[in-house]
Copies of this chain bind each other. A is one copy, B any other.
């Protein structure tokens, strides 16, 4: 490949995460499906925020997390996404730049506030998300910097963008520019409910526009409407140059033409919070890929990056001091 300015350009929702610990009952009360991402409007976001406990804020967004991971691995990454000119937008901009990712998207000067994602972590370390897209839905085709896309070896797109029609058009424009420049286009399916919302479009995308596809088990079985992982694997074979299927603790499967690799998950002694596992798997894989590694090694680096992130909590684990100090206080 020719030498490009960036290894990977990520295009996605620019989001600040609001992380809080919750109990399983809370999800049931709020009609939230564990492990999924639900889109909420401003009023619902405010209502839900009023019900969750003490939280911490940290920059997030799926593709943005992946780009930060690539930079942390020593790769050259850039990001395109839309924030508002508010305090959360400044936080997003600061953090992604401080992580070493190039980020020059202009902030919206009016309209909804910067996107927020309430990340609710249950005691089993699973995360359930409720996202208020806010300014992120205003990503439009003219926010795509054609020179930046052309200068990036891989353009990585998150499926979540499909939830906002102008962002979807931005997505397609970026894919076209990337291919015209001889670069690769990569997509993550993002979430099984997102796949459900946009199945026909995603099937067409995967067949016609995507070179490297990332999906987890729930997403790929949803895409092909099959029950069993192996059926999805057979269905997707040959549709993209490289298909990377992740299966949490069961590891990952990589398909490319006749080539197939089955890679174990990296060992994690203490799973604290699964937030970011998929995003960081993609970081590791794409970093290996743009360094010219073989597909097996790409997946191994992906698995290690995912393991590193799930041993942390996004938020401080706020155990009740009343419980924690029970012995002292008797």
Chain A positions near chain B (C-beta within 8 angstroms): 49-50, 52-59, 68-69, 72-74, 86-88, 91, 94-95, 98-99, 113, 266, 280, 283-284, 300-301, 304-305, 308, 312-314, 316-317, 320-322, 324-325, 328-329
Cβ-closest 9 pairs across A and B: A57-B57, A72-B321, A304-B328, A87-B87, A56-B58, A53-B98, A74-B322, A54-B95, A54-B98
> Max chain B CB contacts within 10 Å: which of A68, A87, A113?
A87
CB pair B72 A322 closer than 8 Å: yes
CB pair B321 A54 closer than 8 Å: no
CB pair A316 B317 closer than 8 Å: no
CB pair A314 B312 closer than 8 Å: no
How far does the Cβ of A270 sit from chain B's closest Cβ, in whole Å? 13
CB pair B73 A316 closer than 8 Å: no
> Max chain B CB contacts within 10 Å: which of A49, A56, A320?
A56
Given A312-B317, A316-B312, are A68 and B91 neighbors across the interface (CB < 8 Å)? no
Query: How many monomers of this protein are in the complex?
Result: 2
Q: Which residues of B contact A316 (CB under 8 A)?
A: 58, 312-314
How far does the Cβ of A236 sit from chain B's closest Cβ, in whole Å? 27
Q: Which residues of B contact A52 (CB under 8 A)?
A: 98
Given A50-B94, A95-B55, are A305 and B317 neighbors across the interface (CB < 8 Å)? no
CB pair B56 A99 closer than 8 Å: no
Pull 7 A–B residue pairs with CB atoms less than 8 Å apart, ordered by A.
A52-B98, A53-B98, A57-B91, A73-B329, A283-B321, A300-B328, A312-B317
CB pair B54 A56 closer than 8 Å: no
Given A87-B88, A316-B314, are A325 and B59 neighbors across the interface (CB < 8 Å)? no
- Of chain B, the residue at the smallest CB distance from A300 is B328
Bound CA–CA A52/B99 (angstroms): 10
Q: Which residues of B contact A99 (CB under 8 A)?
A: 53-54
CB pair B56 A57 closer than 8 Å: yes
- Of chain B, the residue at the smallest CB distance from A52 is B98
How far does the Cβ of A288 sit from chain B's closest Cβ, in whole Å? 8
How far does the Cβ of A89 sit from chain B's closest Cβ, in whole Å? 9
How far does the Cβ of A77 sit from chain B's closest Cβ, in whole Å? 13
CB pair A325 B313 closer than 8 Å: no
Q: Which residues of B contact A87 (CB under 8 A)?
A: 86-88, 113
CB pair B68 A59 closer than 8 Å: no
- Of chain B, the residue at the smallest CB distance from A88 is B87
Q: Which residues of B contact A72 (CB under 8 A)?
A: 320-322
Given A54-B95, A98-B55, A316-B314, are A308 and B322 neighbors across the interface (CB < 8 Å)? no
CB pair A325 B73 closer than 8 Å: yes
Q: Which residues of B contact A113 (CB under 8 A)?
A: 87
- Of chain B, the residue at the smallest CB distance from A74 is B322
Query: Which of B74, B95, B321 interacts with A308 by CB under 8 Å?
Result: B321
- Of chain B, the residue at the smallest CB distance from A70 is B321
- Of chain B, the residue at the smallest CB distance from A95 is B54
Bound CA–CA A231/B49 (angstroms): 50
How far does the Cβ of A228 sit from chain B's closest Cβ, in whole Å? 31
Bound CA–CA A317/B309 (angstroms): 11
